[in-house]
């Protein structure tokens, strides 16, 4: 503002740029910061996975050879092969160095690069969790919104009650029951769905897609049932929080119809805080899918992890652990990155 500005009733001039940083300039920095943070977290996970699993009692090489007769030289050879003869810190630096180039070593039990084993199983897990994620998020948000808007009604009580109940059910148990009821079939109910696996094998083209979809139903239903409740509850309470908002009174005062007030103002605002949760949930679901994969024999990461732990197949365990944690980190970071694009209030 210049010195000879006439004190006027109202300012006509744009005030000089305040401390708030405009979107264009700050977002890249914010983005860089978040990405750097995520990278640091990933490194930390890398370190953890290395040391955590060294704590598993047992000599991996002896375990690997499964009690077959092996001479000390041969054992030493194996140790050399897997780099286990080096001092821990060397193993660690080697491991980190390789991991940074995407090489997690060779699985002890499968004799295949860990990365290959993971990339083999990852799409299956993603298919399962992705489908479930889309469904439970949609369902949770939809029902949560309805519940909040009709708070206190029978429908709301039923919705929240059901969500809480399903939320309290162990997923594996629900999966088992679903297998009994819908897969094996009880009473007059025929077994409609396959008992496990991802495909019957042998189908091609559209039949293959249908076959996989058919196999997908029960695991997805299980996941959706146990997961949608949280989204519902969070959406509901976020919307209830928003419903006291004065801006809704403003919107109503403007003469907007009730459903417009909800659609245009309340719900979008309430969903913002849920976005983070939704993303984080996806990350966690990827890691939490172990149980469902076990129950439904789904050929995904969960099953692989379980097999790897019992050996312990150190490289595979480490790789999988890294992937699980990375899923969470990546999703968290995505949430961080998306949030400011959606919510203009957040630091840009």
Which residues within the stretch 52-111 sit at the binding site for another protein (CB under 8 A)? Answer: 52-53, 55-59, 62-63, 65-72, 75, 77, 81, 106, 109-111
Q: Is 287 one of the binding residues for another protein (CB under 8 A)?
A: yes
Residues 118-157: x where in contact with another protein by CB under 8 A, - otherwise, as a string:
--xx------------------------x---x-------
Rounded-to-integer distance, Cα 281 and Cα 189, Å: 34
Per CB under 8 A, which region of 4-12, 85-93, 94-102, 126-134 contacts another protein?
4-12
Q: Is 198 one of the binding residues for another protein (CB under 8 A)?
A: yes
Q: Is 275 one of the binding residues for another protein (CB under 8 A)?
A: no
* Alpha-carbon distance values, 79 to 2, 98, 204, 206, 317 (Å): 76, 17, 44, 48, 18
* Alpha-carbon distance values, 182 to 213, 214, 304 (Å): 15, 12, 26
- Cα pseudo-dihedral 104, 106, 110, 112, rounded to 10: 90
Q: Is 312 one of the binding residues for another protein (CB under 8 A)?
A: yes
Q: Is 176 one of the binding residues for another protein (CB under 8 A)?
A: yes
Residue 1's SS3 state is coil
Residues 231-250: x where in contact with another protein by CB under 8 A, - otherwise, as a string:
--------------xxx-xx
Q: How is residue 17 annotated by DSSP?
A: P
Q: Is 195 one of the binding residues for another protein (CB under 8 A)?
A: yes
Q: Which of 36, 100, 177, 341 binds another protein (CB under 8 A)?
A: 177
Residue 245's SS3 state is coil
Q: Which of 12, 24, 87, 89 binds another protein (CB under 8 A)?
A: 12
Rounded-to-integer distance, Cα 232 and Cα 239, Å: 10
| Between 97 and 197, CB nearer to another protein | 197
Q: Which of 39, 88, 192, 341 binds another protein (CB under 8 A)?
A: 192
Among 169, 156, 341, CA closest to 235: 156
Among 77, 31, 27, 21, CA closest to 333: 31
Q: What angle do CA 161, 285, 179 make, to 5 degrees?
A: 70
Helix (H) or strand (E) holding 85: none
Q: Which of 7, 24, 102, 205 binds another protein (CB under 8 A)?
A: 7
| Between 94 and 241, CB nearer to another protein | 241
The least CB distance from residue 271 to another protein, in Å, is 10
The least CB distance from residue 259 to another protein, in Å, is 6
């Amino acid at each position: 503002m210049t010195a000879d500005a006439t004190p006027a009733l109202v300012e006509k001039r744009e005030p000089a740029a305040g401390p708030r940083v405009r979107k264009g300039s700050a977002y890249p920095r914010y983005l860089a910061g978040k990405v750097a943070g995520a990278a640091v977290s990933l490194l930390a996970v890398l370190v953890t996975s290395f040391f955590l699993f060294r704590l598993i009692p047992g000599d991996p090489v002896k375990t690997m050879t499964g009690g077959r007769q092996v001479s000390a030289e041969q054992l030493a050879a194996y140790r050399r092969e897997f780099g286990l003869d080096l001092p821990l810190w060397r193993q660690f630096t080697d491991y980190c160095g390789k991991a940074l180039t995407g090489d997690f070593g060779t699985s002890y039990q499968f004799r295949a690069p860990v990365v290959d084993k993971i990339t083999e199983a990852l799409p299956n897990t993603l298919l399962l969790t992705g489908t479930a994620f889309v469904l439970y998020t949609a369902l949770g948000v939809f029902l949560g919104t309805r519940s909040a808007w009709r708070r206190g009604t029978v429908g709301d009580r039923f919705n929240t009650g059901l969500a809480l109940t399903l939320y309290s059910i162990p997923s594996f148990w629900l999966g088992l029951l679903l297998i009994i009821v819908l897969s094996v079939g009880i009473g007059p109910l025929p077994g409609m769905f396959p008992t496990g696996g991802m495909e019957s094998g042998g189908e091609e083209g559209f039949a293959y897609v249908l076959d996989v979809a058919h196999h997908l139903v029960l695991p997805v239903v299980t996941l959706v049932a146990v997961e949608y409740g949280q989204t519902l509850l969070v959406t509901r309470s976020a919307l209830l929080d928003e419903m006291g908002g004065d801006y809704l009174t403003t919107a109503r005062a403007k003469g907007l119809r009730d459903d417009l007030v909800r659609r245009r103002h309340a719900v979008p605002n309430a969903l913002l805080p849920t976005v983070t949760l939704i993303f984080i949930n996806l990350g966690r679901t990827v890691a939490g899918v172990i149980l469902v994969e076990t129950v439904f024999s789904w050929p995904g990461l969960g099953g692989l992890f379980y097999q790897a732990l019992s050996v312990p197949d150190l490289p595979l365990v480490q790789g999988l652990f890294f992937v699980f944690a990375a899923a969470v980190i990546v999703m968290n970071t995505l949430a961080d990155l998306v949030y400011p694009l959606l919510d203009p209030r957040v630091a840009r």
